Structure 1
Amino acid sequence: MSSVDSPPKRTPRYGSTPNPRPKKSWRKLLWVHQPYPDNYVDVSFLSQLKRNMHVQQYSFWALSSDSTVIISHVSTVALFICVFVVIYNFDWNPAWFAFSGSFFTLIGYFVWDYLGNNTTSRTATFKSAVLIVSTLLGLSPVLKSLTQSTSSDSIWAISVWLFLLNIFFHDYSVGPKKTVPPTLSTNLAISAAIVLASRLSTTLSVFSFLLFSIELFGLFPIFSRWLRSYSFIGHLFLTAFLIIITELGMLRIGGWWACGIWLAAVLSAALIAPGWLIALQKYKNEIQGPWDPAKPVLRNR
């Protein structure tokens, strides 16, 4: 028996290793083998995350003024539908709408030519107008019988979808442009007009209705975009005129309830929607860098 008993050796606990080696610092690299589980995420994983780098502060009146572009185009679609209903259901003469559209188109062209310093040749414009009218005169008998074997319910459904696509694909950008706007939206509207025109009774009605549709969907958007870049006040007056005319059309085809629904839709687009968008801005947040100290930071609440 020894005079000094040696202390008993400690047995390591289950799963532990004596003198564990320190792990290497974690790096955000997938191709490097690291002593960490595959689903491990370090606290520095989101340290360089930048959210909403280009958060833009909106003002109510700026959004409200920009909404007039949408209201103007949707008003043209609603006005066109009102015109078709009064022609189809109330036997209004479509030649009157073609004459009115041609009259306002001439006024708009001369205003554009005088104020916009337009360099387009008037002779070329006149030739284009003659070509369009001649083509419509030649195609009107064919277009009249285009959908005779199609039921009216299918015609209404097709025209509704074409107008919805026209509204969706329309160019609502703000600012002067030297190029003609994209033709997809215009083609969709003209296609809807052709489908609806095939329900009319006479060739003259088809010609007048299609001429009005070309003036409304082909020429008016170009003038409206130019007028907004030239004079915003003039654009407001033009939009207000469209709203009033459309209100009268809604009153004629649907009564006061249709007029009220249309007015509520216009007010919602001009006043309620901008306020709602501004209210949602408080849910935007942004990590601000030292290079932009003056830009306010929006935080979640």
Structure 2
Amino acid sequence: MPRRPWRKLLWVHQPYPDNYVDASFLSQLKRNLHVQQYSFWALSSDSTVIISHVYSVAIFVCVFVAIYKDKYNPAWFASIGSICTLVGYFAWDGLGEENTTSRTATAKSAILIVSTLLGLSPVLKSLTQSTSSDSIWAISFWLFVLNIFFHDYSIGSKKTFNSPFCQVWLNRSSFPPTLSTNLAIAAATVLASRLSTTLSVFSFLLFSIELFGLFPIFSRWLRSYSFVAHLILTSILAVVTEVGMFYIGGWWALSVWSVAILSAVFVAPGWLIALQKYKNEIQGPWDPAKPVLRSR
């Protein structure tokens, strides 16, 4: 007598061994069911959001080196930063992002920040006199590394990024966005204590607040308002950074920096897309069903 066909039921007694399976067992096997296919240019455009912040950190380091070597007037950098801040604020205000009440509050906050820096600059200048410069460089380096990692790379509540380059940071919901700003200001404070004059400390800290406290807000708003405008802004930051890198280390530093940035923007997305063919996510009939969440 032929045996009854095997069925995928554990509670039914069948004339087959316990570990027996036939060809129909894997008939519902699915591979790479939830794998997201990425576009090269979408990944490259999303990576510019991270690169623009890295440009800001690099510009800040170049400004510190220029002031530390006493080759440029520190007030010059503070003046350029203040002019750029005013231009960005008026652009933001002209597109309807501010009102009369907010303008008054913004002016009061600006006056308070400048007054506080004027009063604290003599104290901050002698903050780390007993600390060696090697320790200051190491502390500021790791503070900036943490600043880049914890920076808020989102563009508002209505738009998010789908690429893995930004999802790593967007999923860090347990850390407040102000953590990155505090880390950058802390790094600027310890670096400012290495400067020689009170004017240098004041100008440097004012520039750091404008760069790490105000510029990310404007950059995030500009990215949500117009991608083309944000791309132009990133290009300007790239040119300024290239000039600064050439000033710090010459052609060698400029070449290394350019290769690293081009690799992050173009090589890394292509490498990720090339690795997708090795993705082997298997979902079979033994996997539990995933609940579907529906909005009410």
TM range (shorter): 0.7 to 0.9
- The alpha carbon displacement at 1:286 in A equals 4.2
- In our comparison, the structure showing a higher alpha carbon Rg is 1
Tell me, yes or no, if the aligned pair for 1:66 and 1:174 is still in contact at 8 Å: no
SS in 1 for 2:69: helix
- The alpha carbon displacement at 1:175 in A equals 4.6
Alignment of 1:212-223 (within 5 A): 212-223=207-218
Residue in structure 1 matched with residue 136 of structure 2 by the alignment: 155
Match of 1:205 among 169, 194, 200: 200
Alignment of 1:189-204 (within 5 A): 189-204=184-199
- Superposed CA RMSD in Å reads 2.7
Q: 1:212-245, CA deviations, whole angstroms, 9 ceiling, x for partnerless residues? A: 0000000000100100110111000100000100
Alignment of 1:101-140 (within 5 A): 101-119=81-99, 121-140=102-121
What is the identity, as a one-letter code, of the residue corresponding to 1:271? F
**Bigger relative CO (Cα 8 Å, ≥ 6 apart):** 2
Tell me, yes or no, if the aligned pair for 1:26 and 1:42 is still in contact at 8 Å: no
* Unmatched runs of 5 consecutive residues or more in structure 2: 1-7, 12-16, 160-175, 286-296
* Unmatched runs of 5 consecutive residues or more in structure 1: 1-24, 29-35, 291-301
Residue in structure 1 matched with residue 73 of structure 2 by the alignment: 93
Is residue 279 of structure 1 aligned with residue 259 of structure 2? Answer: no
Q: 1:65-106, CA deviations, whole angstroms, 9 ceiling, x for partnerless residues? A: 001101100000011001101111243211110000000000
Mark the CA change 1:173 to 1:121 in structure 2 (over 3 Å): closer, same or farther. Answer: closer
- The alpha carbon displacement at 1:190 in A equals 0.5
Tell me, yes or no, if the aligned pair for 1:251 and 1:258 is still in contact at 8 Å: yes
Q: 1:9-58, CA deviations, whole angstroms, 9 ceiling, x for partnerless residues? A: xxxxxxxxxxxxxxxx9959xxxxxxx9xxx97769x9798776532110
Tell me, yes or no, if the aligned pair for 1:176 and 1:226 is still in contact at 8 Å: no
Residue in structure 2 matched with residue 293 of structure 1 by the alignment: none
- The alpha carbon displacement at 1:155 in A equals 0.4
Mark the CA change 1:52 to 1:140 in structure 2 (over 3 Å): closer, same or farther. Answer: farther
TM-score by length of 1: 0.77
Match of 1:184 among 154, 157, 179: 179
Tell me, yes or no, if the aligned pair for 1:64 and 1:271 is still in contact at 8 Å: yes
SS in 2 for 1:121: helix
Using the alignment, how far apart are the partners of 1:134 and 1:151 within structure 2?
A: 30
- The alpha carbon displacement at 1:176 in A equals 5.4
Mark the CA change 1:140 to 1:184 in structure 2 (over 3 Å): closer, same or farther. Answer: same
Using the alignment, how far apart are the partners of 1:177 and 1:134 within structure 2?
A: 37
Using the alignment, how far apart are the partners of 2:276 and 2:141 within structure 1?
A: 34
What is the identity, as a one-letter code, of the residue corresponding to 1:147? T
Tell me, yes or no, if the aligned pair for 2:121 and 2:201 is still in contact at 8 Å: yes
Using the alignment, how far apart are the partners of 1:74 and 1:41 within structure 2?
A: 56
Tell me, yes or no, if the aligned pair for 2:29 and 2:284 is still in contact at 8 Å: no
What is the identity, as a one-letter code, of the residue corresponding to 1:269? A
Residue in structure 2 matched with residue 75 of structure 1 by the alignment: 55
Q: 1:266-292, CA deviations, whole angstroms, 9 ceiling, x for partnerless residues? A: 1111110110111111112345799xx
SS in 2 for 1:147: coil
